[in-house]
Amino acid sequence: MMKFSLLFLLAWSCVFLGSTGSLNRIGNSDIGFKSLEELVLIRKTLAAQALKLRGLEINLHRVLSKVVLLADAVVQVPGRYSSKEDPLAVLSERLNLLLERLNQEERISTNLLELKEWSTKVCQEPSPSQTLPKELTEEKDEPKVDFYQPAKSDCHELDEGVRVDGVYRFLVPERNEVQRDLYERYCAFATDGPAWTVIQSRGGSFDPHENFNRSWDEYRAGFGNLSRDFWFGNEFAHKILYRDDHELRIELQEAGEPLDWAEYPLFWLDSESYNYQLSVAGEFRGSLPDALEQHNRMDFSTYDRRRNHAKSADSTCGEDYGGGWWFDRCTQCNLNGEHGVHQRASPAIIWMNWRTGTDKPKSSRMMIRPVNPTPGDNSDGD
């Protein structure tokens, strides 16, 4: 009977040890998961449980070995162990405790494996907030944009199939006295057709605001950041405009309101010798009133140059309104008025009968585009 029990114990231990080996293999299996922190922690816990199981297995082997030795001793030398505490009974009790602990560890390992499988499933299934319409989740082939275009000379030559606004660099750099490049331009696909070259941008939500109350020299050379608020520069604008006929587009917008616009079919800017005199012609179109007509043939003025003769001798429009503009007694429009800490009596952006009497933030852009560009002519001159 004793030998049968021992054989049963040995067979059972082999089966159990085989099952624990399977648990180790499952615990150490390589399951792909996304929530790395959670699953790595579970794997570490499984590894610790496997180590505990291995220790219990070693103890079980030791107990079984002693059981076999004691059984052989009892069979070969009957009556050798006559004490009240039968060593075989003690070992059997220890064996039962080990088996109980092994069962507990097995249950813990099973729970951990179930938790691991559940966590992996949760990671693989998108949450409701992550579930988007199919048309939004499908990957789109976004066009690759190259903002360096050495073979082109201007924004209007950009590929109309791409239509991405941004700062582009053309040809070889041609820098002025303040190291601004004539061929680095902000291009905007504001309407159908070719891109426009932006020569003024103002009113973005940038802090601090760009200061537009600048001197004559600063307006000549240009200032600001092409990706934020800026004045492209009177000399640069003249170099672009003298070669071909260009149209002018002006965009104004007040916060929370629709975009308003104005377009002049022909726009010229004379040289510095003629004070960058403004000329517009053609049939006006747009949602804005024609506020620039009154400034036609006006010279550019700043606080430090070109007094307006209609004003008193000790004042200029540039001083009254701030900024640089083509003033005329003094103005029907001025997109470069001073604002911020030194706010003048007038708003920073003025356009006749547009959004008057409101303190909402306003923004403006001026942009030009050739009407009939001359192909293959990239030269500039006065």
The DSSP line for 88-104 is: HHHHHHHHHHHHHHHHH
**Is pLDDT above 90 for 3?**
no
Amino acid letter, 193:
G
**Is pLDDT above 70 for 171?**
yes
Q: Which pLDDT belongs to residue 25? A: 46
Higher pLDDT, 80 or 66: 66
Token look-up 């082939």 returns 141
Residue 298's CB: how many other CB atoms inside 10 A?
22
Q: Which pLDDT belongs to residue 68? A: 57
Q: Which pLDDT belongs to residue 105? A: 67
Q: Which pLDDT belongs to residue 358? A: 80
Higher pLDDT, 210 or 125: 210
Q: Which pLDDT belongs to residue 26? A: 42
Q: For 85-99, what is the mean pLDDT?
A: 66
Query: For the purposes of burial, counting CB atoms within 10 Å of the CB of 37, is it exposed (0-12), middle (13-18) or buried (19 or more)?
Result: exposed
Please tell me the total number of residues recorded for the chain in this structure. 382
pLDDT range class, residue 47, cuts 50, 70, 90: confident
Q: Which pLDDT belongs to residue 296? A: 93
SS3 188: strand
For domain 149-370, the question of CATH label 3.30.300.350 is answered with no
pTM of the model: 0.61
Q: CA–CA separation, 244 vs 38, rounded Å?
A: 66
Q: Which pLDDT belongs to residue 20? A: 46
Q: What share of the chain is helix, strand, coil (3-state, %, to 5)?
A: 35, 20, 45
Residue 181 has phi, psi (to 5 degrees) of -100, 125
Q: Which pLDDT belongs to residue 16? A: 44
Higher pLDDT, 360 or 275: 275
The CA-CA-CA angle for residues 31, 36, 39, to 5°, reads 55
What's the start-to-end Cα distance of the chain, in Å?
118
**Contacts by 14-17, CB closer than 8 A, 24 or more apart:** 16/102, 17/57, 17/60
Q: For 244-251, what is the mean pLDDT?
A: 97
Amino acid letter, 274:
Y
